[in-house]
Structure 1
Amino acid sequence: MDLASIARQVKELSQQVRTFIMGEFNGFDRDHVEYKGMNDMVSYVDKTAEKMLVEKLSQIVPEAGFIAEEGTGEKKEGDWNWIVDPLDGTTNFIHGVPTFAISIALMDEENVAFGLVHELNLDECFYAYRGGGAYLNDKPMMVSKQTKLKKGLVATGFPFIDFVKMPQYMEILTDMMKHSHGLRRMGSAAVDMAYVAAGRFEGFFEYNLKPWDVAAGVILVEEAGGNVTDFKGGTDHIFGKEMLAAAPGVHADMLKVIQHWWFDKE
């Protein structure tokens, strides 16, 4: 499979879909919002963008199935699948907050082979493919070289559906605040991970995530030289709902903080 060629084609496609999404952003009417569940919103923009993506991605890799947030297409077992979030940061989009992205990954049965996160407001296209490195608008990017968490900037997301482990999570947030330059909450896990890959954040952690939130970000961080694990330090980070992505110099320290509160205090 020619991953470099796939990257070129998907970049062109994301730019086309960006034109549609940004055309709908200004003047978006919140009356068009639907609720899939508590605080889980969707609009015609998400649905239309996903259909546009799936149609063209089907042509780029015809043998691949789909794991898409709004349910377009079907997953293929034991084969290639596109993992698609047409608008990561829907809540930001609905409220007029200019941080949201298209997230696209191509994965075989075990590993992500290609990933793209296109932050639409700044028109920053982050992409990577296995063995080919990571790029921001076609320029190579690398994770931060920082080795001290106390000098790092950390990103996270806040629970909006599952609040069962809020006490533990609040302890982690407090600990991270005290031992870093601060926390940031962008409202898009895909953007958070892209920023880790670009060296803007030293690390990112969150739980209750979906594969379309993080799959593309995983290969961005890995190909940029970073470490990606679940909260146990293992590899179940795409479908396991827990994510820690960080520069190598701070990953162990962040994992130690998370594990102390997440597991030891249960």
Structure 2
Amino acid sequence: MQENNNEFIPTSIAEYLKAALIASDAASEVLMSKFSSINPAVKAMGLSSWEKAPGELVTDADLESDKSIKKILSGINAPADIYSEEGFEENGGGEYSWLVDPLCGTNCYASGLATFGISISLIGPGGALVLGVITMPSIKERLATVSTKTVTRNGRPWLPSGPESDLKNTLIGVSVGGSWGTIGNNLTWAGETGGLISFGSAPYSLFHLASGHLGAQIFFNAGVEHIAAGVAVCQQLGLKVTDASGSDIDWKVNQTYDCVLISWPQYHDKITDCFGKDFIK
């Protein structure tokens, strides 16, 4: 599938984009070939699961998806080291690095819930998010973008509209890396919104944000590999991406961010003002 009018993209970036799209297809096939909603899902899928760290579930499906992605990304004539949720792979170094989450929403997947996705992004010189591809295999949706180019939805140019409701009547997505206890009682701002929802997967959440189903998506304790691809897509659509204080974010490999706010512009300042009551002391 050709996306983002490759003839107008520099050759090396077009090569990276093509690899990311092929890799997302391969990972989708791996995940969907195993997925089952029968309870208990892990047993029905014949998967082994374990914790790689307290509260961090991993399954055979994570590793097989990761393997399929790395095989494709490392096989192109455009070097870039691969920083994945499931381990680093050196691949020529250079100015670019891949950021990969081969199964974002492992707990959902292992529970038989279809709210999982795949994130593949490329970070370049100065922390620029060069491209992003988020894939939601269970609903057959994929968003892709290259910096300064249009966003495509399943291969077609896409420019959605954001919500038109007041913040008080608008859903806000929330995702917390690790324990929800890490954000303590800092949720009084939620009373200014239409309610909170958590999908358990960054790409799945950001697809719904980009589609205008949510006014904003807030990530607490988020690893860059989980969110970078979706951030690239949302920024290209004109959404605002900042920290809790409204400041720009410096994207780096192997980085975890305390708070990332991705919002349709009409809600951003209202949300950061609400945050001030809880986070900005």
Q: TM-score, normalised by structure 2?
A: 0.84
1:117 equivalent in structure 2: 134
Q: Deviation digits for residues 214-243 of structure 1, max 9, x if unmatched?
A: 100111110111000111222236435121
- My pick for the range that moved more, 32-41 or 141-150, is 141-150
Equivalent position of 1:214 in the other structure: 227
Alpha-carbon distance between aligned partners in 1 of 2:22 and 2:62, rounded to the nearest angstrom: 19
Is the 8 Å Cα contact of residues 198 and 224 (structure 1) preserved in structure 2?
A: no
Query: What is the DSSP-based 3-state SS (H/G/I as helix, E as strand, rest coil) of the residue aligned with 1:222?
Result: helix
Residue 144 of structure 1: SS of its match in structure 2? coil
Q: Does 2:69 align with 1:53?
A: yes
SS at match of 2:89: coil
Cα distance change, pair 4–200 in 1 and its aligned pair in 2 (3 A): farther
Q: Does the 8 A contact of 1:125 with 1:137 survive in 2?
A: yes
Query: Residues 38 and 161 of structure 1 are in contact (CA less than 8 Å); yes or no, is this contact kept in structure 2?
Result: no
- Give structure 1 stretches of 5+ with no counterpart: none
Q: Deviation string for 1:68-109 (max 9, x for gaps)?
A: 111041387762000000000000011111110010001113
- Does 2:145 align with 1:128? yes
After TM superposition, the structure 1 = structure 2 runs for residues 1-266 of structure 1, keeping only pairs within 5 Å, are 1-2=10-11, 3-4=13-14, 6-26=16-36, 28-29=42-43, 32-60=48-76, 62-74=78-90, 79-109=95-125, 110-139=127-156, 140-144=158-162, 146=164, 148-158=166-176, 160-161=178-179, 163-168=181-186, 170-171=187-188, 175-176=189-190, 178-236=191-249, 238=251, 239-241=255-257, 242-264=259-281
CA contact (8 A) 1:147 1:249 kept: no
Q: Distance in 1 between matches of 2:145 and 2:77?
A: 17
Aligned residues: 259
Contact 1:107 1:114 in 2 (8 A): yes
Given that 2:132 and 2:232 are in contact with CA atoms closer than 8 Å, whether structure 1 keeps it comes out as yes
Instruction: List per-residue Cα deviations over 1:31-72 (Å, max 9, x = no partner).
Output: 611111121011111111111101101223531111111104
Over aligned residues, Cα RMSD in angstroms?
A: 2.3
Give TM-score scaled by structure 1 length.
Answer: 0.88
Q: Secondary structure at 2:107's aligned position in 1?
A: helix
Please give the secondary structure, in 2, of the residue aligned with 1:231. Answer: coil
Per mean C-alpha deviation after superposition, the further-off stretch among 215-224 and 185-194 is: 185-194
**Structure 2 residues without counterparts, runs of 5 or longer:** 1-9
Q: Which secondary structure state, in structure 2, belongs to the residue aligned with residue 261 of structure 1? A: coil
Indicate how the Cα distance of structure 1 residues 132 and 52 shifts in structure 2: closer, same or farther if over 3 A, else same: same
C-alpha spacing 1:249/1:61, structure 2 compared with 1 (3 Å): farther
